[in-house]
Amino acid sequence: APFTAAMVQMRSGMNAANNISEASRLIREAKAQGADYVLTPEMTNILVNKRADLMERIAPPESDAALAAFRALARELSIHLHIGSLAVRTSPDRAANRSFLIAPDGGILATYDKIHMFDVDLAGGESYRESNSYQPGEAATLIDLPFARLGMTICYDLRFPALFRALAEAGATCLAVPAAFTKQTGQAHWH
């Protein structure tokens, strides 16, 4: 069935309240333009590189303010809201880079934890070690929506075609790849 998809583009920072507010504004704008399905970027709630800062600012999913706000917003707008990912606490010293697909009634239809961790050293001394803070996921996620069979992935997963082949072979008709690129990585990978 035909549907209208919208992709929210924003730049998450260290202040979760600001990120939630900006994402919510853009999600409302997408709904006003007729979107049935809205996808936000990876790390919609917060983007923090330093492990100590991250662990200090995140919560388990059941008490995460961003997830609660987005569930209420999906219900209010009656849309399928795909939160590209949130940083959520899974143990005292570990987090998950977790995608949430929220139903029009605010319920959580599916989640996906990013499988492939982004560990890289860039020119100029910049480096990222996602595996220092995040526990990688272990399973692919495929969900049937009224308008598509959606395969859920996150950012660096794009570099691993076996995941996409498995989703396609399982019948995915759409693939979501929400991402948060740095300036350096964005310039290297996107035109």
155 is an active site residue: yes
The catalytically annotated residue of 22, 31, 130, 155 is 155
The catalytically annotated residue of 22, 31, 42, 130 is 42
Residue closest to 114 by CA, chosen among 102, 89, 97, 94: 97
The catalytically annotated residue of 114, 126, 138, 169 is 114
Q: What are phi and psi of 71, to 5 degrees?
A: -65, -45
130 is an active site residue: no
Phi-psi region of 125 (alpha: psi -120 to 50; beta: other; left: phi over 0): left
Which residues lie closer than 8 Å to 64 by C-beta, 6 or more apart? Answer: 45, 58, 86, 88
56 is an active site residue: no
How far apart CA 88 and CA 94 sit, in angstroms, is 9
How far apart CA 47 and CA 92 sit, in angstroms, is 19
Active site residues: 42, 114, 155
